[in-house]
Amino acid sequence: MKGLVVVLALVLAAALGSVRGELRRLGDQAPPGSRPHSVTITEFGAVGDGKTLNTVAFQNAVFYVRSFADKGGAQLYVPKGRWLTGSFNLTSHLTLYLEKGAVIIGSKDSSQWPIVEPLPSYGQGLDLPGPRHRSLINGYNLTDVVITGNNGVIDGQGSVWWQWLRSHELNHSRPHLLEFLHSEKIVISNLTFLNSPAWSIHPVYCSNVKVHNVTIKTALDAPLTDGIVPDSCSNVCIEDSTVSVSHEAISLKSGWDKYGISFGRPTSNIHINRVDLLSSSGAALAFGSEMSGGISDIHVNHLRIHDSYKGISFKTSPGRGGYIKEVVVSDVKMEDVHIGIEFTGNCSSHPDDSFDPSQLPVINQITMKNLVGTNISTVGVLSGIDGAPFTAICLSNLNFSMVADSTSGSWSCSNVSGYSQSVFPQPCRELSDPSSSSSICFSLSRYSAIAIA
């Protein structure tokens, strides 16, 4: 059966190649992601009526684009229309371009989202143990892929998955909208992502990933939908984007307990600039709680967080191992947030009951400077691990104004230490230790530029 499909696809590819004859050539001054060749999804039999299932058309189109890999690659053009599809794979040297009014829609039929093994750094699916559903759009072992458009839309129709999760009808963990594994030189820009079943953009074991000018939204009462989740990745840049989801808007991760420790791939050199984040029930910017491969060298600038449960959260637990260190978050505006800053060493979700509580995480050298908060209920809840305190938490130039009738108090701290200057309201004494000095704090001088080829 599989052989037949491949043969048919080859025949189709050859036929299209000869029929088309001359492929469109794009100008020399073309924008990033432009390719010397272009094909349109309708050439593969796709119908943009919102009803016809186009999974095979997308699969065949990508299969055909593979033949341009050594000729500069090709663009797959998706015109205006509603293009219903199940899960499909991308290929290297591909630009997927969604025209204005083009909407790629995820099927509501779970069998259109095949089952795959859990990620090796997680060992289990996140909603349920065992395997998980493949994402809608997948990249495996790719290089040089651009997903862009004139504000086209990728809509996961996640509400069916949210309902299955709530009613315990899921058989396997939910899929994401866009996932890249073991890939490099990825650009995602100028698009809107709606209603992911779980996470919207999930690069894992990737390097040189740029996310620019995207809008991500899910219903605010959806269960556990995350926006952008760089996971065991290096050299990632997220800029000029707006994320509004129920759970974490941007979440940095690197694997779960013993699986993440033995996989050992950290998340490092991440730059996040000029983003606008909302998380109705989680944290707008989160680190962890899956961080067993380590998270370091993170630079966040010009962040707006509003109408969120938590603002910035560092999450871990005994059993995780790993580290979160060398983080600088600066120039943050927070409005209408319940808990501004959270550190917790008690995130009790584990892939197995057999986790090793002696695997203690290290949280060290976290600097936050130039934060202004208005209408915040509780400024900071910092709760480290007894016997493995979080250290060198450095706060500089923070000014939070509280909810008028706040009864929760401004700061609570345990098992943490650090340094603070010009912080209002006055932080807890753990962060005012006179023996600490600014020399323990991670500074911006270690900024390292990242190159996206």
Question: Using the rule CB under 6 A, is 399 a contact of ligand NAG?
Answer: yes
One of 89, 301, 359, 396 touching ligand NAG (CB under 6 A): 89
Question: Using the rule CB under 6 A, is 359 a contact of ligand NAG?
Answer: no
Q: Which of 161, 113, 157 is nearest to 135 (CA)?
A: 113
Least Cβ distance, residue 268 to ligand NAG (angstroms): 22
Amino acid found at 303: L
**Which CB atom, from 57 or from 295, has the smaller least distance to ligand NAG?**
57
Q: Across the strands, what pairs with 420?
A: 395
Question: Using the rule CB under 6 A, is 415 a contact of ligand NAG?
Answer: yes
Question: Using the rule CB under 6 A, is 436 a contact of ligand NAG?
Answer: no
| Distance, CA of 6 to CA of 65 (rounded, Å) | 14
Question: Using the rule CB under 6 A, is 336 a contact of ligand NAG?
Answer: yes
Dihedral, 403, 408, 410, 415 alpha carbons, nearest 10: -150
Q: Which of 108, 123, 118, 66 is nearest to 89 (CA)?
A: 66
- Residues 102-141, one symbol each (x = binds ligand NAG by CB under 6 A, - = not), give --------x-----------------------------xx
In eight-state DSSP terms, residue 56 is H
Question: Using the rule CB under 6 A, is 150 a contact of ligand NAG?
Answer: yes
One of 38, 54, 59, 200 touching ligand NAG (CB under 6 A): 59
| Distance, CA of 401 to CA of 335 (rounded, Å) | 10
| Distance, CA of 260 to CA of 290 (rounded, Å) | 8
Count, residues near ligand NAG per rule CB under 6 A: 35
Q: What are phi and psi of 228, to 5 degrees?
A: -110, 125
Question: Using the rule CB under 6 A, is 190 a contact of ligand NAG?
Answer: yes
In eight-state DSSP terms, residue 281 is S
Tell me the residue number closest to ligand NAG, measured at CB: 151
Question: Using the rule CB under 6 A, is 17 a contact of ligand NAG?
Answer: no
Least Cβ distance, residue 169 to ligand NAG (angstroms): 5
**Which CB atom, from 185 or from 298, has the smaller least distance to ligand NAG?**
185
Question: Using the rule CB under 6 A, is 301 a contact of ligand NAG?
Answer: no
Q: Which of 232, 262, 34, 56 is nearest to 144 (CA)?
A: 34
Beta strands 132-133 and 115-116 are: antiparallel
Question: Using the rule CB under 6 A, is 221 a contact of ligand NAG?
Answer: no
Residue numbers 223-252 binding ligand NAG by CB under 6 A: 240
Question: Using the rule CB under 6 A, is 170 a contact of ligand NAG?
Answer: yes
DSSP 351-389: SSTT--TT---EEEEEEEEEEEEEEEEEEEEEE-BTTB-
Least Cβ distance, residue 446 to ligand NAG (angstroms): 28
| Distance, CA of 401 to CA of 340 (rounded, Å) | 11
Least Cβ distance, residue 227 to ligand NAG (angstroms): 17
Residues that bind ligand NAG (CB under 6 A): 31-33, 59, 89, 110, 140-141, 146, 148, 150-151, 164, 169-171, 187, 189-190, 213, 240, 336, 338, 346, 348, 375, 377, 386-387, 399, 401, 403, 414-415, 424
